[in-house]
Structure 1
């Protein structure tokens, strides 16, 4: 893949990766509520899934998926329910933490780890559609069967996405550096839970099409 192709690919990907969407909003909320270090397991899970899904779609599985709209509906519903479950589980733990009488009690809020990050990608059918469009733009005959080119496009897409999500994660943390009191932290946690609800609604939008 030539340097010109890489540049064209990055230009194509820039608005998709850095504009607000379910994935980067999800990680901005984690960064705000818990900090970038706590987001690392979910980031790894999300981008391992991104790499695998992108590679499989590039090898031809994407067309099969997109030909069955019922799969999109099922994924949208499952993804929305899963993120809602994360949101309400986290909100419940915030309430339980606020009700404790002893400040020394360990924080037992549920983890948003590797599995959660992977599932947010795997149950987001919009990501599948974007990846399919990506390969439609990046691969032209007679290169469609070039496995090495597919791998390179997959690596560029995954790496660009990871950089974008890191920017959003650190951005979320930056917005909360001035709010350090326990009361402020509880409000930030509630905002995190509310953001997850918004992500769930966003993921459910294909159900309305």
Structure 2
């Protein structure tokens, strides 16, 4: 992959990773309630799942287009239900210190968040359709040798690494933003307002996912 293609990939990914969406709002809300360190397990779960799914799609083992419409709709509905469930928990949460039963998101929560996000599959498939160049694909088709296949997989690995790292940076920034907001809403009543604000945002994202 050339430097120009790398820069184009970063430009392509910037608005997708840094604008409000299910992932970054989820981590911002957890950062607000529990702080940056407490979100690390969920962050690892999300981004390990991201890397695995991206590698599978990029290597051709999985494609968004190959998912049946029925399965895709079921995945979308499951994702919406999960987001609404998270939003409802935030809405009922008290202050950051007073809600003794609240727990930070775990490793598996991060994995589930990625797996149940059909939009992620589409974005990854579109990304590879744009940045896994025809030259690379032609090379893999023209040469059945291990060298040709390895060359294509090398490009897939680079794109996967850039995509996952970019998401990690974006989500870390949103988590820190959430933690910073929590300091401004330190009192219990104001912390509850912050949690409910995140709940409304996540609920809005769930509705948007359903209508997509």
The counterpart of 2:198, out of the listed 188, 192, 195, is 192
| Aligned equivalent of 1:112 | 105
Partner residue of 2:158? Answer: 152
Matches within 5 A, 1:1-209: 1-63=1-63, 65-66=65-66, 68-92=68-92, 94=93, 107-144=100-137, 145=140, 146-206=152-212
> 1:62–1:132: 8 Å Cα contact kept in structure 2?
no
Counterpart Cα distance in 2 of 1:118 and 1:176:
25
Residues 1:89 and 1:180: Cα distance change in structure 2 (over 3 Å):
closer
- Contact in 2 for aligned 1:17/1:164 (Cα 8 Å): yes
Q: Distance in 2 between matches of 1:123 and 1:180?
A: 33
Q: State how far apart, in whole Å, the 2-side matches of 1:76 and 1:64 are.
A: 13
Q: Matched residue of 1:112: which SS?
A: coil
Q: Distance in 2 between matches of 1:11 and 1:200?
A: 26
Mapped to 1, the partners of 2:99 and 2:179 lie a distance apart of: 22
CA distance in 1, matches of 2:70, 2:78: 12
Runs of 4+ in 1 over 4 A off after TM superposition: 64-67
RMSD between aligned residues? 2.4
CA drift at 1:5: 2.2
CA contact (8 A) 1:44 1:117 kept: yes
Cα displacement (A) at 1:130: 0.6
Kept after mapping to 2: 8 A contact 1:47/1:158: yes
The DSSP-based 3-state class of the residue aligned with 1:175 is helix
Distance in 1 (alpha carbons) for counterparts of 2:182 and 2:22: 20
TM-score (norm 1): 0.84
Query: What is the TM-score normalised by the length of structure 2?
Result: 0.82
How many residues are paired up? 199
Distance 1:112 1:202, change over 3 A: farther
